[in-house]
Structure 1
Amino acid sequence: MARAGAGVAAAILRNWPQFLELESSAEPPCAVILCGPGNNGGDGYVVGQHLSARGWRVEVLRELNHSHEGAAAHALANLPAAVEQHGFAMAATGHRPDIIVDALFGIGCTRPLGTEYLALFGAVAARPPRPATARWRHIPKVVAVDCPSGFDLDRGVFLAPEPPRSLDQEALTEWSTDESRRHIATDLCVTFHLPKPGHVLSALSGQRLEIVDIGLPGGAGKDAAALADLPKQPHALRLVDPVRGNRPKAFQRWFQSVTHLDKAAHKYQRGHAIVLSGGLGQGGAARMAARAALRIGAGAVTIAAPQSAVPETAAQINALMLRPLPDSYTLRGWMEDDRLRALCLGPGLGHKRAQEMVPAALWGKRATVLDADALSCFGEDPQVLFNHLHEDCILTPHEGEFRTLFPDLAAELHQSDRLTLTRRAAERAGAVVLLKGPVTVIARPDGCASVHPALRERAAPWLATAGAGDVLAGMITGLLATQDPHHRDILGAAELAVWMHVEAARQFGPGLLAEDLPDELPALMRALFA
């Protein structure tokens, strides 16, 4: 607790260094700390000790009639006399602080935050500014200890409070849609040892997230990747960890573990992938996917196009190979070639062609990536698709395609968590499911799942552009092509591709087009293989 509280105080000063200059002034910085009845409140008391020792004006709001136990009681007893202590009824009394510290309820919260607690934040923030001091006219920064109160760290969602029973239907609807009743926005979240699932499943846990080492084995300061090195066992939860990936040597080991690339291998030992294309004027998505597959490591990539689209496709490719694919019987015949290791179906394929080709591709039992049209074309009866799937398939839907394939699960998207939904979808489909979004979740049928956050400092909003998902499908296909057909790791390939997809976008920056992504991969890998 001593280390945790000290870490929160230090994080406040790191994130808002302007307060350092004010600590010895006539009007020092001010913090109001909301302390709950458990150890989270104890952490808050320690934060108060450290800020007060630096010259801050500190006010603690707590339940005065509550008796703490253990470490929290010790922390309360050690509050300096300069720290003001008041009951929650005094939340609106006084002047507006610079910082509000949320130390009410942290990890393990299983019920919604009561409206009486939510009201505390608004009451403190609405206090009048200190006279003649301009800086107190701003909205106070909110710092959460471990997580915002009322946040479910297992699922990454806020637990919605129960509405008052007196509300009529119209008022009930307004209550249900008013997000401000559920939580207060948090500027900084400081957690301890390692991030928890909820921290990486949602940015609602805080606009900024800091991890403080409190001395536990394998923590933030022990060079261990949070969740990332867990074995791919049933029901395991893995974090596709940006910290690990940014270390070149670690990335090289990661890349090698997924691809098993041999420096002496020729192109077909590195794997041959096929990307199916749509008809005339519809081949752009497939060409981007195929280029991404080749750039990321496949030894050879062939675009399979209908005869009508062959001249158009041939005019726009060089390193990629091209074969006409008239029908599904021809595709089944290609499966006799053992060098063919991976297929990608969906980008720009068209519904009619996808309905014909998907069963034929799955018949071959190759590593298969199904995206876009290869998913949505089965919207009327998703079970038809599920009946053809095998363990070496991966479905890569965005939320709209997820709703098409799993309408009953999708109805819960707004009120449940992406991790549980993706796991349930993978179990139903009998294949790996990758649910795309700012937080991408990948799950196997056995419950092993990975979370990849593109949040906070790793956000890449310019990835929300047409064709970016097609490129990701191609990257996964290219990585799968490099793998030994007898030792495939579908989940591992998806994890690596998703991480590199975001890194390539961040490296390019704003103005990104999907077609820029494949050509950004060489520079990314040069830097990481340096």
Structure 2
Amino acid sequence: MSHELLTSAEMGEADRLTIAAGPIDGIGLMRRAGQAVATEVLSRYPSAAHVHVLCGPGNNGGDGYVVARILAGSGVATTVWTSGPPRPDSDAALAAAECPIKPRPLSDFDAGPCSIVVDALYGAGLSKPLSGEAARAVDLAAKLHLPVVAVDLPSGISGDSGKVLGTSFSADLTVTFARKKPGHLLLPGRERCGEVVLAGIGIGDDVIARLQPQTFENGPALWSRGLPVPAVDAHKYKRGHVGVFSGGPSATGAARLSALAAARSGAGAVTVLSPGNAMQVNAAHLTSIMLRKADDAADIEAFVGERRLSAFVLGPGFGIGEKTRAFALVLLASGKPAAASTGIGGLVFDADAITSFREAPDILFEAARGPGAPALVMTPHEGEFARLFADIADDNVSSKLDKARAAAARANAVIVYKGADTVIAAPDGRAAINSNGAAWLATAGSGDVLSGITAGLLAQGMLAFEAACAAVWIHAEAGSRFGPGLIAEDLPLAIVPVLRDLVAAGGGR
């Protein structure tokens, strides 16, 4: 399994453990890494007139010396440019000694047309802004529109945050080793990496398991075992019952989108909980989805007491203010939802449910920690995140991954920090970065559908972190497959073939 993501420190530890276990030593790992990069260069750029290998003083540069040696041995015109010699007696020094090409100073770097650049300057371990001769090399490669193959990560990109440190190469291809890093998936790093190839160099899955990584690339490998598939004897309430709160007469559409998405994702029953003055509007648009009046907290308490509710969605189109806060707190204090067969269920708070607590977020967080409080999933976009977690959002040093984790711990909730690089974080420290996002999803109502999918999976007994991860991936995959012309109304039906393929591939329990 390769869905784990490793920080730069974890990758260094993986190298150390592999070398300690033998028989591969440090230079052996370096040779394998360089061979993997050289193989990609030779297969993808067979007509390159010249390859310029830029080598830093560390292990990334050592990989570069191996690349240059192999390319030169294959008859490719190759020049090595170095920002400094490797440390004596290091693996990189051994690799440099094995390379027959005399390096030239990076400060003199120049290139002609039909050349390519192999960036082996700094990789994932860079901790300070790229500057000086390295920044000049970046500018020259961009000015000449040279294809760039990056070793591990484009120099100038943080492996842990995906942030640009000063400036960075924009690679056409990035070859990394054993496992990807967060910087391969978080923006803007993801855009600067180009295509990412993951190469095995002898670091075993057993070594990765010893590290106990807590960060993952979101995908079916992470959650497909828990994907709900109804049993032969299932009836509708065994498949879970979702309640979705509707706004007033002019703001009912968002709730219906969530409700339909919950139903399409497999919930056996869905009820729209509507203000009395919006009942007729909602009734005119609902067929298989049930409808019930809910004007105040007493109505919600009665409904929860009467029906076996497994999950709720609160926020889409509901309105901001005291009523929303009251409903949220009633749900968190209810000791429900709880799926009858598993005792697992949850709440999904989005949009107005999040914004309603911007003046008093601690009230929400305290309620989420209350005895018997159901699992809570919150799905903020960047603006909503800042309203609830202002100090975390204002931290310019932390990555999006760090911010999502901090918010999840504070709120005792699964946080779906939405965007092109959506991060899903759990209170226990686990986090996943989504990588299949689609620009077509940037359309009004798309987030309402995501909330409904999440609630539908929660209602069927999926655990909160896994349900949120699955919902984000399924939502994005449906958007990608649909493509141009997508509007939110298309999404609930568009998730059906995605779910069908997941079940056919062996997902589910």
State the TM bucket, normalised to the shorter chain.
Answer: 0.7 to 0.9
Counterpart for residue 21 of structure 2: none
Change beyond 3 A, Cα 1:63–1:115: closer
Matches within 5 A, 1:56-75: 56-63=76-83, 68-75=88-95
Q: 1:303 to 1:13 in 2, by over 3 A?
A: farther
User: Structure 1 residue 469 and structure 2 residue 447: aligned?
Assistant: yes
Q: Which residue of 2 aligns with 1:283?
A: 252
Cα drift, residue 84 of structure 1: 5.4
In structure 2, the partner of 1:345 is: 314
The TM-score normalised by the length of structure 1 is 0.81
Alignment correspondent of 1:98: 115
Counterpart of 1:448?
A: 430
Counterpart-to-counterpart distance in 2, 1:360 and 1:124: 59
Q: Which TM-score applies when normalising by structure 2? A: 0.84
Q: How far apart, in 2, do the equivalents of 1:97 and 1:79 lie?
A: 23
Deviation at 1:121, TM superposition (A): 2.7
Q: Is residue 34–residue 102 contact of structure 1 (8 Å, CA) maintained in 2?
A: yes
| 2:387 matched residue in structure 1 | 404
- CA distance in 1 between partners of 2:98 and 2:127 (Å): 30
One-letter amino acid of the counterpart of residue 343, structure 1: F
One-letter amino acid of the counterpart of residue 79, structure 1: C
**1:274, CA displacement in angstroms?**
0.3
SS of corresponding position for 1:335 = helix
* 1:310, distance to aligned residue in structure 2 (A): 1.1
What is the RMSD of the two structures over their aligned residues, measured on CA atoms? 2.5
Other structure's SS at 1:453 match: coil
1:197 partnered with 2:226? no
Corresponding residue for 2:360? 381
Q: Per-residue displacement from partner, 1:303-339 (whole Å, max 9, x unpaired)?
A: 0111111111111111111111121111011221362
CA contact (8 A) 2:157 2:164 kept: yes
Shift of 1:70: 4.2
Q: 2:432, 2:86 → 1: CA distance?
A: 41
For residues 86 and 214 of structure 2, the distance between their equivalents in structure 1, rounded to whole angstroms, comes to 39
Amino acid at match of 2:40: A
- Given that 2:119 and 2:149 are in contact with CA atoms closer than 8 Å, whether structure 1 keeps it comes out as yes
- 1:521 pairs with 2:491: no
Q: Give the aligned partner of residue 35 of structure 1.
A: 55
Contact 2:107 2:133 in 1 (8 A): no
Conserved? CA contact 1:189–1:205, under 8 Å: no
Q: Cα offset for 1:428?
A: 1.5
Q: CA deviation at 1:32?
A: 1.0
Instruction: Name the SS for the 1:100 alignment partner.
Output: strand
Aligned residues: 459
Of 331, 334, 337, the match for 2:300: 331
Contact 1:154 1:198 in 2 (8 A): yes
Q: Which of 91, 103, 108 matches 1:85?
A: 103
Contact 2:83–2:134, Cα closer than 8 Å, also in 1: no
Tell me which amino acid in the other structure corresponds to 1:211.
L
* Secondary structure in 2 matching 1:340: coil
Alpha-carbon distance, 1:117 to partner: 2.0
Tell me, in whole angstroms, the C-alpha distance in 2 between the residues paired with 1:369 and 1:287: 15
Match of 1:11, SS state, is helix
2:74 to 54, 66, 71: 54
Q: Does the alignment pair 1:239 with 2:217?
A: yes
After superposition, the Cα gap between the structure-2 partners of 1:496 and 1:230, relative to the gap in structure 1 and judged at 3 Å, is: farther
- Alignment partner of 1:122 out of 139, 142, 151: 139
Distance between the aligned counterparts of 1:63 and 1:306, measured in 2?
68
Deviations 1:216-247 (A, max 9, x none): 2139xxxx9x99x998xxx82232136x48xx
The answer to whether the 8 A contact 2:83-2:133 is kept is no
Residues 124 and 205 (structure 1 numbering): CA distance in 2 closer, same or farther, change over 3 Å?
closer
Give the CA deviation at 1:150: 3.3
Cα distance in 1, alignment partners of residues 293 and 142 from structure 2: 66
Q: Which segment drifts farther, 321-330 or 65-74?
A: 65-74
